[in-house]
Amino acid sequence: MSSTTFTPSRSLMRGLLATVFVCGLVFALGLLGAASRERAMGGLLMGFVHAVSIALAGGLFLAVLRLAGARWATALRRLPEALASSIPVLGFLGLVLIGGVPVLYDWAHESHVVGDRVLEGKADYLNWFAFSVRLLGYFLLWTWLLRGMVKHSRRQDDDGDPRHSCTLFKYAALFMPVFAITYSLASVDWVKSLEPHWFSTAFALVTLSGAACSALAACVLLGLWLRKCGELRGILTDDHLDDLGKITIGFALFWGYIWYCQYMLVWYTNMPEETPYYALRMTGGWGHVAKLCILLCWAVPFFVLMPKRARRSPAVMGRVAIIVLIGQVAHWYWLIGPAVIGPHPAVGIFEVAPVVGSLALLSWGILRGLSQASVVPLQDPAVEESLHYHC
């Protein structure tokens, strides 16, 4: 069989960029108002961390598939590659976040730090300069490693040299520890430091599990769309969908387990330094958001995809993927919102527009990356086994 490069329509790409532009204007208007400034920056933070998490988890899947020798997914490798290739584009949102540090974070104000023993003890780490250097360093490392993996994967299409697989293995082996460390630190910098007096040793695992769920859902939706368009027809089979559904169940369980572990430990120890975080998020309006997160991120994928027939159904898999993505947006809202919005949930245009704009920019980057190589890596020695895979 032959494989061609997928070319998204110009109208679609222009529509995504137009969405980014319009949402950017709304965000800029929000920054002009004293009452809406923090809400707009909070919306940007939600969209930024959600989009970056999806892109990075795409790289994580690419690395795991390579290191595990998962030959069944070789024909679908372009999907996580497309997610990973969008990381440089999302770096522009990081620059905006750097500019908004004084709006979001209490530790950026000397008046809040002086006299506060906790913030004074963290001042060498939590300050604008260190925050900016770390953010830029994260993106430089991620871009270098992810571009290296994607580059050698695509070069194999040109010359069929098996040495590219060995080089890809080395990049994947290096990416795993670098990702684990930098993503954990980034989660603390960007989200957890919104409430610097609270602490948790499981927080990075909570965000990582959510990122994996979101990226897998994005891969499923992208694959189903390409199959409907014809590029992956006969390649993304029901057997592949069955396995993707099983992995979706696994990640939903992992997310629910880590989420509950963090909550249970805080509830059980009942320490005054920890309990206010959950006391706010598990009561009132935020308590309803928490229940919605559990329903969408854990209950729906777990129970709906349990039957084999459901996992092999493109319609069911696509709907569950959309629900998971919405649920993870709600989860970021639950993590970030109380520190930015206050004790009562509120959703307005200044929260929604930055999230929509960030996801539109991510989608543009994914489609751009997908159009730069053949849809199926036919020169990979394992691709034939993947094309004829049966679970």
Amino acid letter at 382? A
**Bridge partners of 374?**
5
> 16 phi and psi, to 5 degrees?
-65, -45
Beta-carbon count within 10 A of 121 CB? 11
Its sign, for the CA torsion 243, 54, 300, 204, is: positive
Q: Where are the domains of the chain?
A: 10-380
- Alpha-carbon distance of 32 to 376, in angstroms, equals 47
Q: Per-block average pLDDT, block size 10, for the chain (391 residues)?
A: 73 96 95 88 96 96 89 89 94 94 92 90 94 96 93 76 79 94 96 92 93 96 92 89 95 95 90 89 94 96 96 96 96 95 91 95 94 81 78 67
DSSP string covering 248-291: HHHHHHHHHHHHHHHHHHHHHH--TTTHHHHHHHTSHHHHHHHH
What pLDDT is stored for residue 119 in this prediction?
92
What is residue 3's predicted lDDT score, i.e. its pLDDT? 55
The pLDDT of residue 60 is 94
Residues forming beta bridges with residue 5, ordered by sequence position: 374
Identify the pLDDT of residue 116. Answer: 87
DSSP string, 123-167: TTTSSHHHHHHHHHHHHHHHHHHHHHHHHHHHHHHHH--THHHHH
